[in-house]
């Protein structure tokens, strides 16, 4: 009998130890679990954001950030039309957020996809090139449009149906006609190089630039890509001579670039009256219910956390880091200054912890 008690005691001890180890293992696994947030962003943000993510994850090991870059229109379409569950949307044109998300409801609910944005950064358009670009030793801010029009020169810009930089380039080129007193610039650079045509018609003091439903370049002079980042390899390889990019992209990639006049580069609110003389209209039928028509305006990047974001709290912590002093320092080091303070259209709807970094826009 005594042996039986000893055997039972041993079994109890072994079971107890095993259970202790089992629960310790579970507890350890629980502590090591990470919350993953999904960020869809304008591709022009990816260079800076990767550095932000690296710093954030080292400081906040419990949160993992997965980033995916697209043209800004596509960023939001993934949420509102394609059914992706995204924790944070960051776009190169803040106005796309209210246009595409405020009046579009989450399926099976009566809630809109978003009801606030934060304008957090700016940029400007430049014309990037390399030492191998034709006429690289001649091009400047006074003759760039003449160089691009030469028969042996090729250039690229993003598709305006997908990327905010694309429709901004159309605005810049049309503005150039008045600035340089040459009413053939748009035709030589855009109209003549597409079929069907991108048209531009003056109505009173405003120009209406129409983007056709299908965008097909004629010949090889102009290359259209889904986003600015897809033009970078073409420029690096010499497949094109010039590309319209944001200043941050040109500097990050080490390209030479032509600084366009402030009346054309869409950077300064001081020239808002000039920029607004151009309106871009889209013929595409999928935009029939939601008008994406764009009036020229200064470049502002925007972000929002969709209402159906799976990890809203973790996404808020990531935005807090972006807007913090450390986040600003990283963005500034990549030629992408953050506004201080950033601006919001609805201070009452943004997460309370972000109030310290924001002010209500006027």
Strand bridging mode 88-91 / 301-304: antiparallel
Distance (Å) of CA 249 to CA 91, 95, 227, 337: 15, 21, 12, 13
pLDDT at 291: 76
Tokens of 230: 């897809």
Topology at the third CATH level for domain 34-122+300-360: D-Maltodextrin-Binding Protein; domain 2 (3.40.190)
Are the beta carbons of 252 and 336 closer than 8 angstroms?
A: no
pLDDT at 33: 84
3-state class (DSSP) for residue 37: strand
pLDDT digits (tens, 9 = 90+) for 57-107: 999 999 999 999 999 999 999 999 999 999 999 999 999 999 999 989 999
Kindly state the greatest CA–CA separation across the chain. Answer: 110
pLDDT at 304: 98
Contacts of 103 (CB under 8 A, 6+ apart): 112, 290
Residue boundaries of the structural domains of the chain: 34-122+300-360, 125-286
pLDDT at 30: 45
Residue 253 to residue 247: CA distance in whole angstroms: 10
Q: Look up tokens 């605005």; give the residue.
A: 171
Closest CA to 261 of 121, 93, 126, 123: 126
Which one-letter DSSP state was computed for residue 194?
Answer: B
Topology at the third CATH level for domain 125-286: D-Maltodextrin-Binding Protein; domain 2 (3.40.190)
DSSP 250-298: HHHHT-EEEEPPTTTSS--GGGHHHHTTEEEEE--GGGSSS---EE---
Q: Which pTM was predicted?
A: 0.90
Are the beta carbons of 81 and 106 closer than 8 angstroms?
A: no
CB atoms within 10 A of CB 257: 20
Kindly give the parts of the chain with pLDDT less than 50. Answer: 2-30, 288
Q: What angle do CA 74, 77, 79 make, to 5 degrees?
A: 120
Are the beta carbons of 207 and 201 closer than 8 angstroms?
A: yes
Closest CA to 78 of 36, 37, 39: 39
3-state class (DSSP) for residue 317: helix
Contacts of 300 (CB under 8 A, 6+ apart): 93, 94, 95, 119, 121, 122, 343
Distance (Å) of CA 74 to CA 40, 281, 327: 9, 17, 25
């Amino acid at each position: 009998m005594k042996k039986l008690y000893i055997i039972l005691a041993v079994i109890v001890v072994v079971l107890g130890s095993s259970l202790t180890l089992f629960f310790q293992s579970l507890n350890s696994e629980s502590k090591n679990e990470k919350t993953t947030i999904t960020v869809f962003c304008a591709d022009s943000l990816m260079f800076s954001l990767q550095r932000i993510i690296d710093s954030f994850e080292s400081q906040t090991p419990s949160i993992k950030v997965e980033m995916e870059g697209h043209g800004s229109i596509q960023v939001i379409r993934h949420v509102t039309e394609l059914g992706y569950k995204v924790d944070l949307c960051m776009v190169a044109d803040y106005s796309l957020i209210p246009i595409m998300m405020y009046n579009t409801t989450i399926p099976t609910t009566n809630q809109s996809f978003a009801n606030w944005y934060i304008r957090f950064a700016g940029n400007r358009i430049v014309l990037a090139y390399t030492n191998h670009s034709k006429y690289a030793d001649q091009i400047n801010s006074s003759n760039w449009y003449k160089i691009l029009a030469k028969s042996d020169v090729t250039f690229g810009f993003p598709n305006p149906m997908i990327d905010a930089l694309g429709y901004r380039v159309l605005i810049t080129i049309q503005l150039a006609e008045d600035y340089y007193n040459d009413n053939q610039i748009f035709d030589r650079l855009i109209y003549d190089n597409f079929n069907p045509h991108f048209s531009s018609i003056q109505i009173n003091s405003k120009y209406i630039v129409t983007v056709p439903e299908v965008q097909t370049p004629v010949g090889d002079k102009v290359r259209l890509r889904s986003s600015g980042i897809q033009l970078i390899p073409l420029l690096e390889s010499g497949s094109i001579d010039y590309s319209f990019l944001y200043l941050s992209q040109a500097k990050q990639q080490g390209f030479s670039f032509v600084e366009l006049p402030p009346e054309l580069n869409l950077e300064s609110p001081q020239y808002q009256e000039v920029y607004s003389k151009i309106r871009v209209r889209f013929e595409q039928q999928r935009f029939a219910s939601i008008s994406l028509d764009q009036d020229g305006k200064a470049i502002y990047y925007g972000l929002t956390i969709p209402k159906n974001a799976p990890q809203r709290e973790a996404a808020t912590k990531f935005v807090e880091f972006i807007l913090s002093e450390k986040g600003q320092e990283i963005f500034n080091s990549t030629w992408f200054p953050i506004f201080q303070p950033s601006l919001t259209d609805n201070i009452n709807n943004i997460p309370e912890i972000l109030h310290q970094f924001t002010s209500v826009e006027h």
